Structure 1
Amino acid sequence: MAARLWRWLREDVWEIRFRRYVALLLTAVVVAAAVWSGLVMTKEDRSCAPGVSRPRNSDDCVGVSTTAYDFGRAPFSATVRAIDRENRRLKPGSYVTVALFLPFTASAPASLNDIQHQLQGAYLAQYQANHDTTDQSPSIRLVLANPGADGAHWQTVVDRLAAMAKGPDTLRAVIGIGQSTDANKQAVGSLTRHGIPVIGTSITADDLANGQDGKDPYPGLARVSPTNTDEARALASFARVSGGQALLVFDKPGDPYTRTLQDSFQRLLTGSRIAPQSFAPPADRTLDGTTGNQFRQIASVVCDTPASMNTILFAGRHTQLRQFINALGDRGCTDRKLTVLTGDEGSYLTGDKKLNRDALTRNLALRYTSLAHPDAWKQQAPATGGGTADARALDDLIARGASQPVGPIGPTALEDGQLIIAYDGMRLAVQGLREATPTGRAVPPLTDVVNEWAYIKGSHRVNGASGWICLDGHGNPYDKAVAIVELTPSGGSRFVKLAWPEGKPPAKDCLPPA
């Protein structure tokens, strides 16, 4: 009896334990499944559109978009739809892909305007190329590459572009790049190491160019815009700046754009009697920070300088430029005429609502080098270096872009030069791609496109809407026209004059010297 009872208890206890183990096991399975399901759902939630997703710890939609995705920016929508319509029209095997590399998720209004206009310019050149009556090939497919608002995710995008260059997408060029920042320097370096041709539209920093000290750190990089040094040389030839009449105000520690602009300006100021004045902006130079306080003090220093010192050379980004102009508007010596000269970042102020435009009525002028201006080839036509017909061709295309079949592409603006310069950048890409395509083939080898930049000169130049594009042996535009523009109190800009790095337009043959 005792043995039977013992056996019954043992079996009963074992059964209870077994049931507990099963229950625990089932619970663990359910929990694991829930966790896995949550991870899967979370991963799926990171997707923004085909080819675009949010990296971990970021709400930025990063990647390469091949659809009508506008990165959540309504101003881009009309143009993006037009690009998608044009891309879907293309037949497989008839096209090569060009990526427009810009920070499409930027939030600063000035940056959004810049990107919107470059997007429009690149598309108009794509449409023009694909509908050329000469029926040249290959056709151009345009995709949008976003490295994030601050460019921090450039490596993710570069990896994707490198894969597209090897696969059926037949990526053969990257254009755009945007501002001359450290992140963009790294992106261009990586792209060119992959053998992918790059065309910088608005980059101007000297250290984001080939040919400095005879070195080419970015093999395959071509540029539409002059370097900061060339812009400063053109500005000097226009304004005839001398060391005894100018004061340098610069960003410390600076970034690639501001540092090379500072170096270029300092070379113009040999013998200056007043030490340069520095300011320290936030790391994110689109933010105001407390820099306004520094500029109020610098404005006082300006008033303390001799009356003969009437020119200020400003090496800084557009947010700080706006703060500086506002401070100068409240200076204590408004009876004294001052002219601020700066690089192409001045163009951003045409749409900056925080700018106190009354400052420009107080004996203060802001003049800057613009990458392009719609009036540059209308008011005067130099014997060489560009022409009215090339600018007029873009005007006609923009007018057609108001409606189908070209558009609609949304409201356009040309005063900041960004639409014009992106249009020229895509036209350079198209010429290089088509010249490099062997007879009987649809797609050019990457290396042949890279080699093509050496031949963009003379009769093979690109007759851009911003002026002739004649590349030297390092991919830089030789003696490119520089538009000198003045900001107006009414909110726009006034074209002043064309200037040239060499002091005069290039010869008719447009062949860079040895």
Structure 2
Amino acid sequence: MRESTAQEQQPTPGRDPLPDGGLDFLALLARLLRRPRRGDRRLPVFWLVHPTGAADLMSVLRRLVGQSPHRRVPHAVVDVRTLPEGAGLPAVLRELHRQLCVEAFGAERIRFRHYPLADWLMQQSLTFGVEAEDGRSALVRRLRDRRGQGMTGEPLAPGGDAATVVSQVLFWLVRRAVPSVVFRIAVSGRLPVLGRPYSWFMRQQYLAPQQSVTFLGFAERLTTGWRDGEQPDQVDKLLLHAFLEDLRQAYRRRPWRPSEWRRTTSVVLLLDHVVPGDQGHRLVRLLNDVRNETGRNDPLLVLAVGAEPPPEPAVVTPLADAEEAYDEWVEGVPEARRLRRPAAWLLPLEVGVPDTGAQTRGAPRGFAAPDPPWWSRRFLPAGLCLVLLAAGGAWVGTRWGSGCLPSLSGQVKVELVGSECVGYSDSEAQVFNDDPGQDRLRAIQRRIFAQNRAAERAWERSGKRRPFLTLVYLGTLTGNPTREDEESYVSEREELEGMATARYALLQISAGAPGAALLRIVVANGGRQMRHAGPAVRMLAELAREDRTLLGVVGLVESRRNTAEAIGELNRVGLPVIAPNISGDGIGSRSRLYIQVSAPNTEQARLFHEYARARRLTDAHVYYTTGEGSSLAEDIYVSTLVADLEQRFGDRLARPVQWQPGTSMARECGYAGMLVFAGRWSEFDGFLRALQRDCANNPPRNLVGNDSVNRYMANPQLRRSAPGNLPVTYVSKASLATCAVLRAAASSGRDEPRATFLRWISSDDLLDRPRCTPGGDQVGERVSLAYDATTMVVRAVESLATRLHHGDDSPRWRPEAINPVGMHAEVLRQIDGDGYRGISGLLRVDVDTGVPAQKRLAMMRVERVPDVADEPVEVFHCGVADTWRPDPPCAASTPATR
């Protein structure tokens, strides 16, 4: 930080206007723009000191507040350079009023009552000639005309019968006498409702209104000529105070005025090319004085952009430290306001010029105003209560059902979409999936919810000093058709187990370790094949607005179009996605906040190709499926894998065939090339049975499955009933986390992370079936992938917390200190360079796409699929293990390379 001094900086054409810290500053603005659910916050005046001639910072700010397709932030933009020469504060306020009073922001327009009256009075002249009417009478007449009550009516005609005379008298009373009386009472201030705008002028403090006795006398003092004897600053402050009062009243929250609750964002004023001493600076100075002198808050957030710092004695802070500077300003503004300091509301920030464009990649497109509360909608008439009472039972039955009910305990929000319970939960009040055979899926959810309560208690015992964060697991938890004894959600269960293991490790740390984070996990269901991810993400967006500890989403399970849309929607609401398993090419292209743990399909196709070359298989046949009710265009995983295989193998690959029940496999009998199953695991059992049916005595020699087959191999019920004479080789994304590798790491003593991971998953008080124990279950591929995804986020938060608390004598955790965008940037920073050494292998991603480079993939082989107790053997691999190399070769696996 430095004291503000005017410095001339050289322009840097072509640079992004947001250097280091720019995204964090935009995230801070987004937080300030969103109105709290209760009360209102004090809003500073940001003076952005920007190099002259650099790229247009104002365009970025205008895009932030003005490019939402539906509900936009109410804002006004004033370029101080374009104001007419000699224009004063009234001209500036007229321009603000013109821009803000239009109905162009997706909500009711802001109604101004006090400011237009004050401005109108300042434009009136009561200077008359000798024969002119009295000035006070002229003012009364004009005020009545302004109210629409200046109708004099036709004069009463003489004569006529009694009925005619009576009707003419009544007409005269209605048209002239009554409005005149009502107006006189209104300007007197004796009627609170009719005279509210007039009485306000007599209660406010500028220009000593009590010296005028009545409003009409005070109004005369504002007209042209009369106000020459008043102090100009006092006149301008009155005008500005009236303008702010209209904003305050428009933003009040009264139960009987639903329209006021529909204003969910602050009002923004963008002042461009502000120079000390000009009208923009004068407006900022007067705004500071009015706020100090009246003691009233208002919903106006001012962003002033200029090449020079303000002349007021204020500390100019680098943009990268905006969050910290704002927190300090919030703590200090009450005292500065009480002392009426000239820079009490001023928060200058220095916007430097970035060295490279990479620093500002991923700037947000625009801030969408949050949706208003449901009960404030315009279309809710009083009769809706009767309709709801009559249809209440039916509505409850369609929105919720057995096993899908709203709850007042914990953070639970669900609704019935089709026949599936979609939404999120962090407590046992809602456990997803009550289908038979899914006991283990429900058990891990209950374990996670119990851990949530344990994490909250541990945080309380630490004096709320340990960093506390929330992650959402979003997956497919309902919708698959199953037998009563069949577990159909093995992958989802394993990913939840991986996250639970990562959190279990945190709970083992002593409460006296303030730097160790604590984690809460919210479980969310997007429905079968993520078809209902849209409603689930909308609920999560609301949760993110309410819960400042929510930093990201883990999971997503399958690479489908619905998943890609969900990732894009999560990016829109500012939530990063850390995907343990999905690998479809380009699945995360809609998000700037996407990180993928598994290798993409391009690398899987390379593994197939290199494996075929190593085994001297000259050609290949490919069969694919997309799952029930899905198409190849909707299935990004299958479509991109098939395309990658076609590109890798070229002419040596026969045209891929879509396999369906009933497809003849006779041509594959005795086939010596590589027979590739590139479809979904849910059809692999049928594919095996078709081969057994058509080629029982002469099976193909080299059956190879993609990594989706891993989900089938992790399902013991399906494997036990599979055909037994076909050896299968399939792709694994976590071959470095098998029980054999973990045991070897523990016995060697050279790999503490894997040894510790083995100790956690083997413990009796974590998973319902301990892993890697004698006679126990295998570890499960997605356990390690989800463990790595979760641990990466936790380490990033711990690193950020350490920097935030450096030198802090009372490091009490503040959830607002870290935002999701900052967490995502820290994860990328930590895994850049040498990468992140995870249990599933070394992870090093492209910072632009979030996709891994050279992530380990392996071919695993089982001689007989029904032999569930036999652990698969790694036979081939590509990618790096634990040490980064730019282009590692693919090779056959030996015990030393596993």
Q: TM-score by structure 2 length?
A: 0.46
Deviation at 1:225, TM superposition (A): 0.8
1:480 to 855, 858, 866: 855
2:829 to 441, 450, 455: 455
Q: Which runs of 5+ in 2 are unaligned?
A: 1-382, 772-776, 806-812, 889-898
State whether residues 247 and 312 of structure 1, in contact with CA within 8 Å, keep that contact through their aligned partners in structure 2: yes
Q: Deviations over 1:87-126 (max 9, x none)?
A: 2232476511100111222444454222222111111101
SS of 1:97's partner is strand
1:95 to 468, 471, 476: 468
Correspondence for 1:231: 604
1:67 to 403, 408, 427: 427
| Structure 1, 64-73 or 43-52: larger mean CA deviation | 43-52
2:867 to 482, 491, 501: 491
1:422 to 756, 773, 786: 786
| Structure 1, 68-77 or 317-326: larger mean CA deviation | 68-77
SS of 1:208's partner is coil
1:508 to 869, 883, 889: 883
Q: Deviations over 1:17-39 (max 9, x none)?
A: xxxxxxxxxxx9x9969615535
Q: Does 1:35 align with 2:390?
A: yes
Correspondence for 2:523: 144
Q: CA–CA distance in 2 between the matches of 1:138 and 1:458? A: 22
Q: Do the aligned partners of residues 358 and 137 (structure 1) sit closer, same or farther apart at CA in structure 2, a change above 3 Å counting?
A: closer
Q: Does 1:397 align with 2:760?
A: yes
Correspondence for 1:293: 662
Correspondence for 2:443: 78
State whether residues 326 and 356 of structure 1, in contact with CA within 8 Å, keep that contact through their aligned partners in structure 2: no
Q: Does 1:277 align with 2:657?
A: yes
Q: Deviations over 1:271-309 (max 9, x none)?
A: 227443333xxxxxxxxxxx2211xx1x21223xxx774
Q: CA–CA distance in 2 between the matches of 1:456 and 1:324? A: 43
Correspondence for 2:575: 196
SS of 2:564's partner is helix
Q: CA–CA distance in 2 between the matches of 1:302 and 1:49? A: 53
Q: CA–CA distance in 2 between the matches of 1:222 and 1:411? A: 29
State whether residues 188 and 218 of structure 1, in contact with CA within 8 Å, keep that contact through their aligned partners in structure 2: yes
Q: Do the aligned partners of residues 470 and 115 (structure 1) sit closer, same or farther apart at CA in structure 2, a change above 3 Å counting?
A: same
Deviation at 1:182, TM superposition (A): 1.8
Q: Does 1:48 align with 2:422?
A: no
Q: Do the aligned partners of residues 408 and 367 (structure 1) sit closer, same or farther apart at CA in structure 2, a change above 3 Å counting?
A: closer
Deviation at 1:201, TM superposition (A): 1.0
Q: CA–CA distance in 2 between the matches of 1:397 and 1:446? A: 28
Q: CA–CA distance in 1 between the matches of 2:656 and 2:697? A: 21
Q: Which runs of 5+ in 1 are unaligned?
A: 1-27, 210-215, 280-290, 382-386
State whether residues 483 and 498 of structure 1, in contact with CA within 8 Å, keep that contact through their aligned partners in structure 2: yes
Deviation at 1:325, TM superposition (A): 1.7
Residues 67-466 of structure 1: pairs in structure 2 closer than 5 A: 67-68=427-428, 69-71=430-432, 72=434, 73-89=438-454, 90=456, 91=459, 94-107=467-480, 108=482, 109=486, 111-132=488-509, 135-209=514-588, 216-240=589-613, 244-251=618-625, 253-254=631-632, 255-272=635-652, 274-279=654-659, 291-294=660-663, 297=664, 299-303=665-669, 309-332=672-695, 334-335=697-698, 337-350=700-713, 351=715, 353-354=717-718, 359-361=723-725, 364-373=726-735, 374-375=738-739, 377=741, 388-400=751-763, 402-403=764-765, 407=766, 409-410=768-769, 413-414=777-778, 416-437=780-801, 438-440=803-805, 442-443=814-815, 444-457=818-831, 461-466=835-840
Which amino acid is the alignment partner of residue 495 of structure 1?
Answer: V
Which amino acid is the alignment partner of residue 271 of structure 1?
Answer: D
| Structure 1, 69-78 or 473-482: larger mean CA deviation | 69-78
SS of 2:470's partner is strand
Which amino acid is the alignment partner of residue 203 of structure 1?
Answer: I
SS of 2:471's partner is strand
Q: CA–CA distance in 2 between the matches of 1:118 and 1:273? A: 34
State whether residues 75 and 410 of structure 1, in contact with CA within 8 Å, keep that contact through their aligned partners in structure 2: no
Deviation at 1:177, TM superposition (A): 0.8
Q: CA–CA distance in 2 between the matches of 1:498 and 1:390? A: 24
Q: CA–CA distance in 2 between the matches of 1:471 and 1:143? A: 26
Deviation at 1:460, TM superposition (A): 6.7
Q: CA–CA distance in 1 between the matches of 2:698 and 2:396? A: 66
Q: CA–CA distance in 1 between the matches of 2:400 and 2:653? A: 61
Percent of pairs with identical residues: 20
SS of 2:559's partner is coil
Q: Do the aligned partners of residues 345 and 64 (structure 1) sit closer, same or farther apart at CA in structure 2, a change above 3 Å counting?
A: same
Deviation at 1:40, TM superposition (A): 6.8
Q: CA–CA distance in 1 between the matches of 2:553 and 2:613? A: 37
Q: Deviations over 1:398-457 (max 9, x none)?
A: 122x22xxx354565445412222112211221233334451354412221222243233
Q: CA–CA distance in 2 between the matches of 1:510 and 1:48? A: 52
Q: CA–CA distance in 1 between the matches of 2:400 and 2:573? A: 31
SS of 1:48's partner is coil
State whether residues 53 and 62 of structure 1, in contact with CA within 8 Å, keep that contact through their aligned partners in structure 2: yes
Q: Deviations over 1:157-178 (max 9, x none)?
A: 1112222222235210100111
Q: CA–CA distance in 2 between the matches of 1:426 and 1:170? A: 15
State whether residues 376 and 483 of structure 1, in contact with CA within 8 Å, keep that contact through their aligned partners in structure 2: no
SS of 2:845's partner is coil
Q: Do the aligned partners of residues 41 and 111 (structure 1) sit closer, same or farther apart at CA in structure 2, a change above 3 Å counting?
A: closer
Which amino acid is the alignment partner of residue 142 of structure 1?
Answer: I
Q: TM-score by structure 1 length?
A: 0.77
State whether residues 105 and 146 of structure 1, in contact with CA within 8 Å, keep that contact through their aligned partners in structure 2: yes
State whether residues 76 and 116 of structure 1, in contact with CA within 8 Å, keep that contact through their aligned partners in structure 2: yes
Q: CA–CA distance in 2 between the matches of 1:379 and 1:240? A: 32
Deviation at 1:270, TM superposition (A): 1.7
Which amino acid is the alignment partner of residue 667 of structure 2?
Answer: V
Deviation at 1:135, TM superposition (A): 4.4
SS of 1:344's partner is coil
Q: Do the aligned partners of residues 142 and 352 (structure 1) sit closer, same or farther apart at CA in structure 2, a change above 3 Å counting?
A: same
Give aligned pairs, total. 448
State whether residues 484 and 498 of structure 1, in contact with CA within 8 Å, keep that contact through their aligned partners in structure 2: yes
Q: Do the aligned partners of residues 376 and 182 (structure 1) sit closer, same or farther apart at CA in structure 2, a change above 3 Å counting?
A: farther
